[in-house]
Amino acid sequence: MRKLVERLTPDTVASRAIMVLVAALLAFHLLGFWAYRVGVESLATAARDRGLAEHIVSIKRAIAGAPAGQERDRVAHDLSSASLEVHWSKVSLVLGTAPMTERTTTMEARLKELAPELAAESFRVGFADDGALGAANADAYRHMMLISVRLDDGSWVNFSSSALGANQIVDWSVIAVTICFGVGIVIVALLLLRWATRPLRDLALAAERFSLDQTPQPLPENGPIEVRRAARAFNTMRERIQRLVTERMQAMAAVSHDLRTPITRLRLRSELLDDDATRDLIDADLGEMEAMIDSTLEYLRGGASSEAIRPIDLASVIETIVDDHLDQGHRIALVGLTTAPVLGRVLSLKRAFSNVISNAVKYGHAANVMIAESGDQIVITVEDEGPGIPPSDMERVFHPFVRLEESRGRETGGTGLGLTIAASVIDAHGGLIKLANRAEGGLCVTVSLLKASQSRTATVGHAEADRQTRLAALS
């Protein structure tokens, strides 16, 4: 039930504020309309009862002043109206034995209060539905209120009305005005809320577009005080991240430079060795150290580069990588599109696909590369014939320094950063990389990138901030 409520609840601040406003307006208008109806009905009832009392007194006086007999009956008929029928008779229309109900007692007391003259008269009040009439006349006066007033000569003036006590007709014009008033308030509130929440949208957009390889643009610190504080905190956080990553990169570059100097000296000294086997082993170890340094620096850059983003033919880049492996005698094949235009950085993408294809050749003994088009995306699949990856390790292999082959022997090499670097570069280009085991055996790596006609350079690099923050902490 809680999940259903959360799913139905609007997500944005503006929509939630509108929901609260609409609920408050609805409750306010319902209570207001109820109060209006109660007030109007009370006034209408009071006016109706006062008018009834005045009519009874005036009609009774007019009939009492007329000669007895047919003249009184004619006067009673002339004084009748559509809502109040008057008859003169020698007998009371309301039985003296009629039961006294709550509404009968209330109406009698009300008439006596509004027309004190009736208090001295003998009059009866009853309702046909309550048994105020005899059985013979009950059907003719059903649903009517009856009042009988006795004259001085013992005759009776009988009043009957079907309109008394009827429900008031709903005034739809009042409801229409209320609805229009509420809609107008909601529209004005929506415009004001959109204006008030614009700094929040700018803050979210700045966080999405945060990138370490772009010149930081301070977020404007405007809006309500809470939003200004959040914007100020975001600007401070971005400056700290930029400074932290820059310092870490400078430190790693310095360490790399310092390490390359003794490595170079060791290479020179190894050349003086007479034992060729020992010299080859030392050169291999030194080469592995240099490769580790290069991979670590590339990983820490996380795809960040000063190289400009421009249209490139991804098919040509991949073809170059495949040709290099063919020259080394590896089993590798390339099929599919011969042209694949995307927006990106040539060196970064070449490094990413080189890592993916090299892994396929190294661990899968062969690689089949296919370039295809799917809607607005270029899809590159790299399949190998290796043992694949356990499903539980599909996400772990993207973590830095993770190698499923733990020996780190010279035969397999590697630092556990190849897929991490590839994922970082693909993310920086707004793409997606996925791993899946093939049914016939082996691993299938799928990379999707937007075509150049669909790419938006503003979105390239948005995913770097989170990754770079994590890398800075690791370094």
CA dihedral 4, 7, 13, 17 (to 10 degrees): -40
Per-residue model confidence (pLDDT) at position 312: 92
How many Å is the Cα radius of gyration of the chain? 47
d(CA 353, CA 366): 15
Neighbours of 302 (CB within 10 A): 28
Per-residue model confidence (pLDDT) at position 475: 41
Q: Where are the alpha helices (DSSP H) in 89-209?
A: 102-114, 116-119, 172-196, 198-208
Per-residue model confidence (pLDDT) at position 447: 94
The two tokens of residue 347 are 């060196």
The two tokens of residue 243 are 């400074």
Judge contact between 449 and 377, C-beta under 8 A.
yes
Which among 57, 58, 43 has a CA at the least distance from the CA of 116?
A: 57
Per-residue model confidence (pLDDT) at position 152: 80
Per-residue model confidence (pLDDT) at position 315: 93
Neighbours of 126 (CB within 10 A): 27
Q: Name the residue type at position 351.
A: R
d(CA 59, CA 62): 5
The span from the first CA to the last CA of the chain, in angstroms, equals: 45
Per-residue model confidence (pLDDT) at position 309: 83
What does residue 382 show for φ and ψ, rounded to 5 degrees? -125, 115
Helices and strands (H, E) in the chain, number of each type: 13, 11
Per-residue model confidence (pLDDT) at position 445: 94
Q: Angle at the Cα of 102 (from 99 to 104), degrees rounded to 5? A: 60
Per-residue model confidence (pLDDT) at position 422: 87
Q: At what angle do helices 346-364 and 418-428 cross, to 10 degrees?
A: 140
d(CA 70, CA 65): 13
Q: What is the pLDDT along the chain (475 residues), one digit of tens a residue?
A: 666 655 666 666 666 677 777 777 777 777 777 776 667 667 767 777 777 788 788 888 888 888 877 788 888 888 888 778 888 888 887 777 777 777 778 877 878 778 777 766 677 887 777 666 654 455 556 667 888 888 888 888 888 876 554 444 455 666 677 777 777 777 877 777 777 777 777 777 777 776 655 566 777 777 777 777 888 888 888 888 878 877 777 777 777 777 778 888 888 888 888 788 888 888 877 877 777 777 666 666 655 555 678 899 999 999 999 999 999 899 999 999 999 999 988 888 988 899 899 989 988 888 999 999 988 899 999 999 888 888 888 888 888 777 665 444 445 555 677 888 888 888 888 899 999 999 888 899 999 999 886 554 434 444 444 444 444 433 4
The two tokens of residue 128 are 């046909």
Per-residue model confidence (pLDDT) at position 333: 93
Q: Where are the alpha helices (DSSP H) in 307-345?
A: 314-327
pTM of the model: 0.46
d(CA 244, CA 300): 12
Per-residue model confidence (pLDDT) at position 60: 83
Neighbours of 191 (CB within 10 A): 10
Tell me the fold of 304-474.
Heat Shock Protein 90 (3.30.565)
The tokens 């009439």 sit on which residue?
A: 133
d(CA 292, CA 321): 21
